Amino acid sequence: MNDMRLLERDVDAKDIKIAARKVQVYYADTHAIKDVDVDIEDKTVTAFIGPSGCGKSTFLRCLNRMNDTIDICRVEGDIRIDGEDIYDAKVDPVQLRAKVGMVFQKPNPFPKSIYDNIAYGPRIHGLARSKADLDDIVEKSLRRGAIWDEVKDRLHAPGTGLSGGQQQRLCIARAVATEPEVLLMDEPCSALDPIATSQVEELIDELRQEFSVVIVTHSMQQAARVSQKTAFFHLGNLVEYGETGQIFTTPQDPRTESYITGRIG
Amino acid sequence: MPLLWLILIVLAIAAAGYVLGRSRALASAGGDIRQLHSLPSYYGSNAALKAVVPALLLLVLWLIAQPLYINSVISGTLPDELISEGSSRGLLMAEVSRTAQGLDLAVSQGVIDEGVASDPAADFNAMTDRLKQAGAIVTSQITQPVLNAAQRYRSMSHTGTAIMSIAVIIIAVLGAFYGIRQSSAQFRARNVVEQGVRVLLVAAASIAVLTTVGIVLSLVFNTIEFFRLYPASEFFFGLSWAPSFSGRGGSSELGVLPLLWGTIYISIVALIVAVPVGLFAAIYLSEYAGSKVRAVAKPLLEVLAGIPTIVYGLFALLTVGPLLVSIFGDGGVLGVSWQGGGRAVITAGLVMGIMLIPFVSSLSDDIINAVPQAMRDGSYGLGATKSETIKQVVLPAALPGIVGAILLAASRAIGETMIVVLGAGAAARLSLNPFEAMTTVTAKIVSQLTGDSDFASPEALVAFALGMTLFVLTLGLNVFALYIVRKYREQYD
Ligand SMILES: Nc1ncnc2c1ncn2[C@@H]1O[C@H](COP(=O)(O)OP(=O)(O)OP(=O)(O)O)[C@@H](O)[C@H]1O
Ligand SMILES: [Mg+2]
Q: Does the structure show a pLDDT above 60 at B405?
A: yes
Give the residue ranges of DSSP H helices in B230-286.
232-237, 257-283
Q: Does B374 touch chain A (CB under 8 A)?
A: yes
Please give the pLDDT value at position A1. Answer: 42
Instruction: Name the band, by pLDDT with cuts 50, 70 and 90, for residue B141.
Output: low
Residue contact A108–B372, C-beta within 8 A: yes
Q: Whose CA is nearest to atom 16 of ligand 1?
A: A55
CA distances from B316 to A202, B272, B325, B353, B437 (A): 69, 17, 12, 11, 13
Q: Which of A42, A89, A14 is nearest to A213 (CA)?
A: A42
Q: Does the structure show a pLDDT above 70 at B301?
A: yes
Least Cα separation, residue A168 to chain B (angstroms)? 12
Residue A80, classed as helix, strand or coil, is strand
What mean pLDDT do residues A144-163 have? 90
| CA B203 to centroid of ligand 1, rounded, Å | 48
Q: Which of B422, B304, B314, B319 is nearest to B353 (CA)?
A: B304
Please give the pLDDT value at position B249. Answer: 47
**B130 vs B124: CA distance, rounded Å:** 10
- Interface list for B 266-325 with A (CB within 8 A): 290-291
**B468 vs B463: CA distance, rounded Å:** 8
Least Cα separation, residue A197 to chain B (angstroms)? 21
Complex ipTM: 0.87
- DSSP structure string for B287-299: IIS-HHHHHHHHH
What's the CATH class of domain B253-489? mainly alpha
Residues 6+ apart with CB under 8 A from B301: B281, B285, B357, B358, B361, B362
Residue A213, classed as helix, strand or coil, is strand
Q: Which of A69, A109, A111 sits opposite B380 (nearest CB)?
A: A69
Residue B493, classed as helix, strand or coil, is coil
Please give the pLDDT value at position A55. Answer: 92
Q: Does B380 touch chain A (CB under 8 A)?
A: yes
Our answer on whether the CB atom of A106 is closer than 6 Å to any ligand 1 atom is: no
Ligand index nearest the alpha carbon of residue A55: 1
Residue A33, classed as helix, strand or coil, is strand
| CA A27 to centroid of ligand 1, rounded, Å | 9
Please give the pLDDT value at position A134. Answer: 95
**B373 vs B493: CA distance, rounded Å:** 12
Least Cα separation, residue B284 to chain A (angstroms)? 16
Residues 6+ apart with CB under 8 A from A33: A23, A24, A25, A55, A58, A59, A62, A236
Please give the pLDDT value at position B480. Answer: 87
Instruction: Name the band, by pLDDT with cuts 50, 70 and 90, for residue A231.
Output: very high
pLDDT tens, residue by residue, B38-50: 888 999 999 999 9
Instruction: Name the band, by pLDDT with cuts 50, 70 and 90, for residue A76.
Output: very high
Residue contact A110–B374, C-beta within 8 A: no
Residues 6+ apart with CB under 8 A from B293: B285
Q: Does the structure show a pLDDT above 80 at B83?
A: no
Q: Whose CA is nearest to atom 7 of ligand 1?
A: A27
Please give the pLDDT value at position A5. Answer: 44
Counted domains in chain A: 1
Residues of B in contact with A178 (CB under 8 A): 382-383
- DSSP structure string for B181-239: HH-STTS-HHHHHHHHHHHHHHHHHHHHHHHHHHHHHHHHHHHHHHHHHS-HHHHHH--
What mean pLDDT do residues B145-158 have? 85
- In the β-sheet with A73-81, what is the strand arrangement from edge to edge? A30-41, A16-27, A73-81, A84-85
Residue A24 in any domain: the answer is: yes
The CATH number for A88's domain is 3.40.50.300
The atom number, within ligand 1, closest to the CA of A233 reads 21
Closest residue of B to A176, CA-based?
Answer: B382
| CA A77 to centroid of ligand 1, rounded, Å | 19
Residue contact A120–B384, C-beta within 8 A: yes
More confident residue, B109 or A77: A77
The DSSP H or E segment spanning B98 is helix B89-109
Our answer on whether the CB atom of A54 is closer than 6 Å to any ligand 1 atom is: yes
pLDDT tens, residue by residue, B357-381: 998 998 899 889 888 889 999 999 9
pLDDT tens, residue by residue, A164-177: 888 988 999 999 99
Q: Taking a C-beta distance cutoff of 8 angstroms, is the pair B426, B443 a contact?
A: yes
CA distances from B384 to A9, A87, A184, B40, B282 (A): 29, 18, 16, 63, 21
Please give the pLDDT value at position A9. Answer: 39
pLDDT tens, residue by residue, B11-20: 999 999 999 9
Residue contact B378–A171, C-beta within 8 A: yes
Our answer on whether the CB atom of A230 is closer than 6 Å to any ligand 1 atom is: no
Least Cα separation, residue A131 to chain B (angstroms)? 19
Pairing status of strand A84-85 against strand A73-81: antiparallel
Residues 6+ apart with CB under 8 A from B247: none
What's the CA angle centered on A12, arms A7 and A14, to 5 degrees?
Answer: 125
Our answer on whether the CB atom of A252 is closer than 6 Å to any ligand 1 atom is: no
**B493 vs B487: CA distance, rounded Å:** 17
More confident residue, B137 or A101: A101
Mean predicted lDDT score pLDDT of chain B? 86
pLDDT tens, residue by residue, A194-216: 888 888 898 888 888 888 999 99
Closest residue of B to A123, CA-based?
Answer: B384
Please give the pLDDT value at position B174. Answer: 95
Closest residue of B to A65, CA-based?
Answer: B381
Q: Whose CA is nearest to atom 1 of ligand 1?
A: A70
**B176 vs B51: CA distance, rounded Å:** 4
- DSSP structure string for B121-142: TS-HHHHHHHHHHTT----SPP
Domain ranges of chain B: 3-228, 253-489
Closest residue of A to B400, CA-based?
Answer: A111
CA distances from B37 to A43, B15, B25, B303 (A): 69, 22, 10, 52
Region of poorest pLDDT, from A57-66, A96-105, A245-254, B448-457: B448-457
Burial class (CB in 10 A: 0-12, 13-18, 19+), A160: buried
Least Cα separation, residue A172 to chain B (angstroms)? 11
The residue range of the domain holding A216 is 16-108+180-260
Burial class (CB in 10 A: 0-12, 13-18, 19+), A127: middle
Instruction: Name the band, by pLDDT with cuts 50, 70 and 90, for residue B329.
Output: confident
Please give the pLDDT value at position B493. Answer: 43
**A233 vs A218: CA distance, rounded Å:** 12
Q: Does B375 touch chain A (CB under 8 A)?
A: yes
| CA B55 to centroid of ligand 2, rounded, Å | 62
Q: Does the structure show a pLDDT above 70 at B195?
A: yes
Please give the pLDDT value at position B429. Answer: 83
Angle, helix B441-449 to helix B458-488, in steps of 10 degrees:
150
Our answer on whether the CB atom of A38 is closer than 6 Å to any ligand 1 atom is: no
Q: Whose CA is nearest to atom 4 of ligand 1?
A: A27
Residues 6+ apart with CB under 8 A from B245: B451, B452, B453, B457, B459
CB pairs under 8 A between A and B: 76
